[in-house]
Structures are given as C-alpha cells and as structure tokens.
A and B are shown apart, each in its own frame.
Chain A
C-alpha cells in the first residue's frame, strides 16, 4: 500500500466462491489516479471474477472495496456506474440498431416536457465524441461503424456516466493495429485526466506499450503487483503460468521426435472462404502444433480436416489410400477425433450425464441398433474418469455441472473411447485451471507416445513449444510457416505470426 492518498479504487481481501470452487481467494488490488493498470492471468485465473466483484455484477463473499477513501458496496452494475466505475467489455454491450447519440444518452436523454430533445442530444453527442477526436454522424446506427468506433462510443459513454474508474475488458481483441493505436491514444488522454484505468488483455505487447503497473492473478490467487518498467517479460510469463507447467514442459520436451513414415497426408487441401489450400503431413506418434492469432484460420483448418466443412480442393490420404473426410461421421470412421474450441457450444451435451457424454461418440459409431450395455458404459466411464482424473461426484452427474477443465477431460475421454488414430485438439487448455492444464499437457505426451497422431491448436505458445514436434503457423487464413527441430521457439513463432504486418500481439 504505497502512496495511499493517490489510490482511487482499492480492493482488499476479496473472496468469491462458487459452488465447488474458490474463484478468488483474498485478492488485493489497488488502482491509482492517472494510471493504466493491467490485470493479467490465464483464462480462469479470476480476472473477470475480480472485475465483476468491483462492478457489482457479482456480490463478493468477503473483503472491502474503497473508492476515493470511502467504502462502497455496489449492488449491481448500475450502482457501480453511479459511484463512478464504468466498464467496457470485449463485445460492445451497446445497442447496435440505435443511433450513436441514443447509445450515448440511453436512459438519460435530454428532455423537455417529457419529450426527448433529439437535436440537443445530437449536439451533445457530437461534442462528447469530439473530445475523443472522433467526428462521425451521430444519427447513424451504431452498428454501421467499425468495432473500434463502437468501442470508443462505449468508452465515451462509460466515462461520461462514471468518470472515476474505467475498466477495459479485452477491448482490443478484435481490432487491427491502427485501431489499437487510436484506442490507446484515447486511453492515454483519459489517464492524463486522472482516471484510473484497469486494462485486461491477452496481448503482452500491449501491456508493455500501455500499462504502468501489472497485477497478475493465477488460480484465484494474487501472484503479485509490479511496475511494468521493472518487470522483464520472461518473469511476467513465469508469474502468469506458474512453475507447475514448466516442470511438465521439460518432461514432454524430452520425448524424441517421431520419425516414422508419413501416415496422414493432406495435399493442397482447402476450402475457399475458410482456409487457403495447404499441405500437411503427419506421422504416427507425432504432435503437430498449430499457432496463429484468432481468426487466422486455425479452427477452420481443424474443422476442414474433421469434415465439418467439405474441402473444395485437394485430397487427403491415410497410409497412401484416399480417405473420405466429407463429414464428421466419415472422419470418425477413418479414426479421427476432434475436441472443439468452444466446449459449451460444440462439445458437451449439458443435460446428459458424464457417462453418456463419454460413450456418445463410440455409441454413435456403433449405430443405434447396437447399444453398449449398461455394464460396458459404466466400465468405460469409470475407466476414463479414473484415467483422466475427471473430478465428479458421480458418473451420472449432468456434465454441465462440472468445471471447465473436467468437461474438457470428459470430451477428451469421449474421443479416447473411440480409440482414434488422429486426434485434433482445438485449444485444449483454454479456460481451465492450472492443475487440469498440466494434466492435459501430460496426457498429450502420453497419447503421442502410444502412437496416436495429434494436431494441437493453442494460443499458449509456451505450451505448443513444449509438446510439438513441428509447428505450423497460420496467418490470414493461410499456412505461412512450418517450424521444426531447433526452430521451435516462441520467438520464431511470434515472428512468423507477425510476418509482414507488425501486429504480433502474442508473446
């Protein structure tokens, strides 16, 4: 607590528990006037929970919040807004079909005799946006502008409403380099005006570009708060990832690179509008990592290989014979498996039990007329619950009640039960806690040691480096580089991702 008088928002000893999990365990956080404070941590570290406790979206279980020296207890986000805490989310949470001016003054439109003064509102909206160096037609629908402009409108509204603390939750995720610069200019102006700004992002470049201090959370715990200038990047990553991961990395990296004959061969495989044609050879027992920014075609590559989209060029061979990958069902018949990125939407069948979720793909492959007996189902479920350490009180528990990491392991179990030859994992460690994270990485090593071929897509480059025998780098929906052997380092990946453009946000 240095320089207390300059602190605008102080959270002390914040505790938030959810059924079965402690999301925040006595976390302290302080925000000074006129600083940009980056809040970092992996998915599931507790960043958004902390934000939600500060904005009243969640009620904290313990701890105090102090704003400007006064203790506060926002009941909901509206309350927090009135107190002076404004939030801008990654997905702009304004109303796209209303005009810019209406969005800025929604709920507090200037009125005369109960009627909204549209002219007055437009004048004020134009003036407000002019402060941010933006000159647009405020009568047009918000959705007719780019995401960047929408972000600025959201910020303008939040600052105008609240004016003390601004929380930016991954505001740059879908912006291009120029737009990010424009946004950062605005943030710096606000900082100069004395606002306290909390900045959440996954792009470490931007953290070093913009922030004054950094607070790192991991697994619901405060790891530490440091000045950005005196925190080397390597140390920051270590703070974020922790040490458990590194010991695993070494174990897996020790496994030698597979060097057998090519088993799966995709030549000139592509689909227009999804991913440009690519060549990819995969050996047995090999882990091929796929790296690239969001929207670079990573998931599209996976979906194309699994038959979710039908390729319109090229061919796929397995052991020299042409393979039919025209639908997921056909791909599964060829021995493929696919753990999708969006677990909730594409993976779990929420209301069904853990057991049913595990046996589903195997049962679908056998067909409805050849049901697995209760005994077989229970045995399968129990085996994988034990082998993958899926934490559930009971195999009959609906899977939606499990934590993210355990859901992910159950989906993995669904595919392992089919005994696949070729398994595609799209972001297998996203949004899961550190423990499950390390286990999934250990599993990847084990599976490839058993001779399974794996494709792993991940934004966590350290992770990719640890277990991949080769790494394919994607940019703008094309495969742009293939790294092998000693080329596999995060630095090389970042360079390849950055390529011609300078927007290499991921460390």
Chain B
C-alpha cells in the first residue's frame, strides 16, 4: 500500500508542480487571486472559478484518458456534447420530467460511444478516422435536434446541474470530482486498468492472453460518450439553452491536451485519470489567469500555447532522459541504500 502511494505520488509530482507554479505565477500578478469568500452559503473566488469552468474539460479528460490508454483517440466528444445538450434541451422544452431528460441525454452519449466503439473495435477503423466521422456529423445531428435554433428552457432542476451548488461547491465541480474519482477507483480497484493498459500496449498479445479486446475497446468509447454527455449537460444547463454550433466547440482538443499534460502517452498504455484531471485544471488555470490578467484577447491563445509547449518540453523523452542522466547519481545512491536494507 505504502509502495503504491509512493508510486502514485511520484507519478503525479510533475503535474502538481506545474499546477502550483502556474497558480503562484498568477498570484504574483494578482495578489487577491487565492482569496475565497462565502456568499449565500456558497464559495466564491478565482480558484473556485477554475474548478467550475474546468468541469467540461475535466469530465471529457476522464473518458479521453481511458480511450487514449487503449491507443485510441476520441475526436467526437465536443460534437457529442452538443448532441446530448440538444437532446436534453429538447426534452426539457417538451416538458419531460427531469429524470427522463437526464436519462435521454446520458443514453444518447452512450449510443454515440457505441457507434465509435463499433467502428474501432469491430470494423478495425483507425480511431482518429472513426471518431472524425461523428465529430463532423455530430454538429449536424445536434442542429437537427434543435431545428437550427438555440433551444432555451427554464426547468429549475436542469438549470441546477449547471449553476446550483452542493455543500458550498458549484454543482459542476461536485459532478466532475465525484465522477472522476469514481472512474479512477473503478479502473484501479478492479483489473480494468491493467487490462486496458495491456490492450493499448500490445493488442495482439492481449487477445492471445485471453483478454476480450473488442469488448474493452467498446467500453472505453462508451465511457468517453458518457463523459461527453455529462459535460454537455453541464454546458447546456449553464447557459440554459442548447447551442448546437458552439457547445463543446474545440473541447476535444483541450481534453486531449489535458491527457497529454497529465503525462499519459498518446501511444497508449500506462495512464492516470487523476493526472489528467490535474492536467485539465492546469489548462483552465492558464485560461483563467490570462483572461483575468487583462491581456488583449488575441494574446490569450499564444500565451496558452507557449505555456503548454513549456510543459510538454519538460515532459518530452529527450529532456526526461537528460534529467535522468543528471539525477542518475542520486538514483544510484537510492538503489544502493535499498539493497543494503
């Protein structure tokens, strides 16, 4: 157990350091950045805002991590968000009960996942192409659902998903924290994590070892669809309307970035959902920091790109090898001590 905790700590260290550095940087520019206050039994502040605004990408990153671990990628999540948001809005406008609305939205996300999973695991289409189909078609489907208009609704239950609060925390924060931790526990407390990693590293050898590879791939894309559905619900509830054109636009790229910043290789294999969640927060912290700094908006994307390049360079195999070389002496001493023990 202690070994495992140590290993997890070592795995998450770079992400924690990166997040802390960015927060401290913003703090230097804005002295009251860390201040948190309570109004009407709810927490307010920039940090809470980061957690709240980062919810969609964090949720997408959970599913994306698992898909990437299988050596796949899911480009359709942004579009799936739009579809699910549109389905939820349409259902709410119809006057369906809240539970049915939620079930419909989540069900739609799962169906999208089944479609992607079918293309990838049964037809063996390359994931980037397979999910591109729904990425392109998805917004069209969403527009069909909303009939081209922005569907607005007033159901207080649905709105609560986007802007309510629970135990002082905004609802989206509660949702992604609970969901992310639940999935992380699910894959690590069962054998799913290991099996997913095995499939991602060597699909053929995994099949020969008796792993039900197609089923596992299907499950990964369904999880991604489910995550997109929840993220779509949050975004839609937040603006109280379904915008088929802009809901979740480009978020698939942020989700992939969150996974990569979280240190999971795009080549599949070893993954950490918690690291991806931190990665999502890093991205949101950069976004929030730049926005509140008052730079002209045209600089935002460039600064964001620069910060991400720095993080990725630090994580690159070359630089890592160099750092290993520098720290080899200390590592050697470590192992020598261990062997003495």
Contacts and interface: CB of A to CB of B under 8 A. Distances in A.
Task: Indicate, yes or no, whether A interacts with B.
Answer: yes
Contacts of A365: 210
Contacts of A368: 190-192, 195
A371 B190 contact: yes
Interface in A296-319: 306, 308
Interface residues of A, number: 30
B202 A332 contact: no
A356 B269 CA distance: 13
Interface residues of B, number: 23
Contacts of A414: 209
B252 interface: no
Contacts of B194: 352, 356, 360, 363
Nearest to A350: B201
A240 interface: no
Interface stretch (A140-148, A257-265, A338-346): A338-346
A372 B191 contact: yes
Nearest to B215: A368
Contacts of A352: 194, 197-198, 201, 269
Nearest to B207: A328
B201 A360 contact: no
A308 B210 CA distance: 11
A235 interface: no
A338 B209 CA distance: 8
A332 B208 CA distance: 9
Interface in B198-219: 198, 201-202, 204-212
Interface in A347-396: 347-352, 356, 360-361, 363-372, 374
B197 A351 contact: yes
A400 to B, nearest CB: 9
A329 interface: yes
A351 B212 contact: no
B139 interface: no
A368 B190 CA distance: 6
Nearest to B206: A349
Interface in B97-145: none
Given A352-B197, A356-B198, A374-B4, A364 B205 contact: no
Contacts of A349: 197-198, 201-202, 205-206
A414 B205 CA distance: 12
Most chain A CB within 10 A, of B190, B191, B192, B270, is at B191
B153 to A, nearest CB: 39
B189 interface: yes
A346 B208 contact: yes
22 contacts: A328-B207, A328-B210, A329-B210, A340-B205, A345-B205, A347-B205, A347-B208, A349-B197, A349-B205, A351-B269, A352-B194, A352-B197, A352-B201, A360-B209, A364-B206, A364-B209, A367-B191, A368-B190, A371-B190, A374-B1, A374-B4, A414-B209
Please name the 3 residue pairs, one residue from A and one from B, whose CB atoms are nearest each other, closest first: A364-B210, A371-B191, A332-B210
